[in-house]
Structure 1
Amino acid sequence: MSRIGKQPVALPSGVTATLSGQTIEVKGPKDTQSFTATDDVTLTIDDGQVTVTPRGKSKRARQQWGMTRTVVANMVQGCNETFKKELEIRGVGYRANVQGNILKLNLGLSHDVDFEIPAGVTVTAPKQTELVVEGTNKQLVGQVAANIRDWRRPEPYKGKGIRYKDEYIFQKEGKKK
């Protein structure tokens, strides 16, 4: 039994949800998002709450139950406020700056990395060694932050690379003579 799936998703004031078949559309002050659920779950809207229930007791139905409820909850939260991921860049000469729709990264490679920022996400660089990824779609914000981090992951000896703001990197001890 899914503990997450059992909980209904409350719609805050200013956020409305409409259901047509298996597609739910959430409108709020920040954004409008839609999601099509699989046939393994049933979505219902009543009394300002969205409820997800599984159809049957199959393993797939139970998997989709919790996942669908979480996606709907993230859509409701994203239509009301923005999601944010903060990255920091560590390393001598490593820096980033945003020029229009392009994020330019200097990461010690033989060339600069030009990362095109997708629509629906804003990337800002308050400092040359800090990045802030913001947007209303939680999945897209996390994916863009992960793609930026993949250009130079933090290494365990000196800690150089791109890391999340609150990420802890286990430091290894170097070679001894």
Structure 2
Amino acid sequence: MSRIGKKPVPVPSGVDVKVAGSVVSVKGPLGKLDWALAPGIGVTVDQGQVLITRSSEARNVRALHGLVRAELSNMVLGVTKGYERNLEITGVGYKAAVQGRTMSFNVGYINPVVYPIPAGIEVKIDKQTLINVKGIDKRLVGQVAANLRAIKPPDVYKQKGVRYVGEVLRKKEGKTGK
């Protein structure tokens, strides 16, 4: 029994939710997002709420019931407020720069690492070491932030690399001489 799937998703004013066949479209002040529904999941919009129903009690349909509700809730929040992730670069000489729709990282490798910024994502860099990733799609913002962190994951010995703001690393001691 999905408790999350049974909760209705409130639709604030200024947001338009439409269901066309198996595609749900959410349009708001920041943009438009679409979600393709799986077979067995139904969506209805009435009185400023979105209700998600399932057609059977099959295991895969039950699993998708709560997922679809969470995704639709994230879409409504994304088109009204948006999502953002903040990263920081630590290390001597480590820095990042934005040129058009690409990012360039100097993080201890011989050549700079170039990362193309996907459509729908806005990236700002402050002081060459603070990265702000913004967008309306929660999945895409999180994936871009994870990809940027994967360029140079934080090192537990020297505490250098790209990490999320507020991420706490346990510093390891390293080898001791004889």
In structure 2, the residue matched to 1:73 is: 73
Identify unmatched segments of 5+ residues in structure 1.
Answer: none
Shift >2 Å, 4+ stretches: none
Distance 1:167 1:60 in 2: 35
Distance 2:107 2:17 in 1: 44
Distance 1:61 1:166 in 2: 37
In structure 1, the residue matched to 2:85 is: 85
Aligned partner letter, 1:119: A
In structure 2, the residue matched to 1:2 is: 2
- Give deviations 1:75-122, integer Å, cap 9, x for gaps: 111111121000000111110111111111001001001111111001
Distance 1:162 1:110 in 2: 17
> Does 2:96 match 1:96?
yes
In structure 2, the residue matched to 1:139 is: 139
State TM-score, norm by structure 1: 0.96
1:54, distance to aligned residue in structure 2 (A): 2.1
Distance 1:9 1:135 in 2: 21
Aligned partner letter, 2:94: Y
> Does 2:126 match 1:118?
no
Answer whether contact 1:40 1:60 (CA < 8 A) is retained. Answer: no
In structure 1, the residue matched to 2:23 is: 23
Answer whether contact 1:23 1:36 (CA < 8 A) is retained. Answer: yes
In structure 2, the residue matched to 1:109 is: 109
Aligned identity (percent) is 43
Distance 2:166 2:109 in 1: 25
1:129, distance to aligned residue in structure 2 (A): 0.9
1:27, distance to aligned residue in structure 2 (A): 1.0
- Give deviations 1:115-172, integer Å, cap 9, x for gaps: 1111100111012111000011111111111111111001111211100112122221
Distance 1:166 1:8 in 2: 33
